[in-house]
Amino acid sequence: MNDDAMIPAARPLIGDEEREAVDRVLRSGMVAQGPEVAAFEQEFSAELAGSRECVAVNSGTSGQHLGMLAAGLRPGDEVIVPSFTFAATANAVAVSGATPVFVDVDPETFCMDPAALEAAITERTVGIQPVHLYGHPAPMDAIVAIAERHGLWIAEDAAQAHGATWQGRQVGTFGVFGMFSLYPTKNMTSGEGGMVACEDHELARRVRLLRNQGMEVQYANEVAGFNNRMTDIHAAIGRVQLTKLAGWTAQRQANAAFFDVNLRGVVTPMVRADATHVYHQYTIRVEGATAAERDAFAAALREEHKVGCGVYYPTPVHRLPSYGLDLDLPVTETLAREVLALPVHPSLTETDRERIVEAVNTVAKAGA
């Protein structure tokens, strides 16, 4: 039994600069979408989106939803998504009256398998939504080649992958748009929020219209839209976080490198030669485990060693009650039983890292 304090699985870092930025907006008396949002879009574009035009919205999910509507998604269309992801990836398709078509993932990187993707294309397929899961990029060269061959658009779910690159290019800049989430547990936050990095100005304009009731000019609504605006309060937080992200990412990578070298008896995450991984999660596999065995592993880490951890995701999206599909996606099913995410956030101390290694190695040995 370890008497030290619990090491949390995730910890949003919000400091004095964020508080001062919020205070500045509150004192201005103008809190809805305004100059802070515009500045945040510009800064995010330069830092994380290869200077693509960025549009800020009130959540990552809204960003996916509006981006796909702007790309032309219509009821009855099919969009291919991995099943091993957060439900939001598929929800943004389903709430548009379109059908998410679930495919399997690569067992090493946990990202969409290009062969499975190509096999799932039908005459109703209009788009592909790869997920850069846990901060590891999906194999974008292969996915782009398939999309071009079949005339499909790509919507990147980069919710977990701010700053990750594939063949030297930032994720979120391969598709017609890339969506980044700014939820508190993500690599950076605005409280709640999302950013849509758009391929061209016309797509960005359509996302802006849909974000704001279909208006570019006040009360001259061009299309039916939503209110999915970001507030200046949230943008002010996001702008500060953006200046800290590179340092945090380097810390996540250093934590991951320490785990890679020191963990025993579990499968550590792999990084493709073409990729830089930004470790939104550091996800190990308890190889050959049943879900109950993996859950017991997690319980031992938490209860005996006070090491927080999480399972992302225990149920493949196609099996959730909201979809209820009985598909044969063997890699997804195996990963849902075996994965376990360890704390990798930038506020871990050296002692925390050593405690995590000691705890995992002890539990793995006991179970072997």
Ligand X SMILES: *Cc1c(COP(=O)(O)O)cnc(C)c1O
Residues that bind ligand X (CB under 6 A): 59-61, 85-86, 88-89, 131, 157, 159-160, 181, 183, 194
Distance of CA 261 to the CA centre of its chain: 26
Taking the least distance from each CB to ligand X, the nearer of 54 and 159 is 159
Distance of CA 125 to the CA centre of its chain: 23
Q: How far is the CB of 249 from ligand X (least distance, A)?
A: 16
Taking the least distance from each CB to ligand X, the nearer of 177 and 183 is 183
Q: How far is the CB of 27 from ligand X (least distance, A)?
A: 28
Q: How far is the CB of 59 from ligand X (least distance, A)?
A: 4
Q: How far is the CB of 36 from ligand X (least distance, A)?
A: 18
Taking the least distance from each CB to ligand X, the nearer of 59 and 363 is 59
Asked if 239 and 43 touch (Cβ cutoff 8 Å), the reply is: yes
Q: Mapping DSSP to helix (H, G, I), strand (E, B) and coil, where does residue 21 land? A: helix
Taking the least distance from each CB to ligand X, the nearer of 44 and 258 is 44
Q: What residue ranges in the chain does DSSP mark as E strands?
A: 53-57, 78-82, 99-103, 125-128, 153-157, 165-166, 169-170, 177-181, 194-198, 275-276, 282-285, 339-342
Taking the least distance from each CB to ligand X, the nearer of 62 and 363 is 62
70, 126, 72: which is closest to 100 by C-alpha? Answer: 126
| Sheet with 53-57, edge to edge strand ranges | 53-57, 194-198, 177-181, 153-157, 125-128, 78-82, 99-103
User: In Å, how far are 119, 136, 154, 302, 355 from 144, measured between CA atoms?
Assistant: 15, 17, 8, 41, 42
Q: How far is the CB of 178 from ligand X (least distance, A)?
A: 12
Q: How far is the CB of 149 from ligand X (least distance, A)?
A: 26
Taking the least distance from each CB to ligand X, the nearer of 89 and 170 is 89
Taking the least distance from each CB to ligand X, the nearer of 86 and 279 is 86
Helices 16-28 + 232-262 axis angle, to 10: 170
CB contact set of 333 (below 8 Å; sequence gap of 6+): 316
- DSSP letter, residue 319: G
Taking the least distance from each CB to ligand X, the nearer of 98 and 289 is 98
Q: How far is the CB of 282 from ligand X (least distance, A)?
A: 15
Residue number with the shortest CB distance to ligand X?
60
Measured between alpha carbons, how far is 40 from 21 in angstroms, rounded to an integer? Answer: 12
Taking the least distance from each CB to ligand X, the nearer of 195 and 301 is 195
Q: How far is the CB of 327 from ligand X (least distance, A)?
A: 19
Q: How far is the CB of 86 from ligand X (least distance, A)?
A: 4
User: Two tokens at 170?
Assistant: 């930032």
52, 61, 66, 85: which is closest to 192 by C-alpha? Answer: 61
User: Two tokens at 155?
Assistant: 């919507």
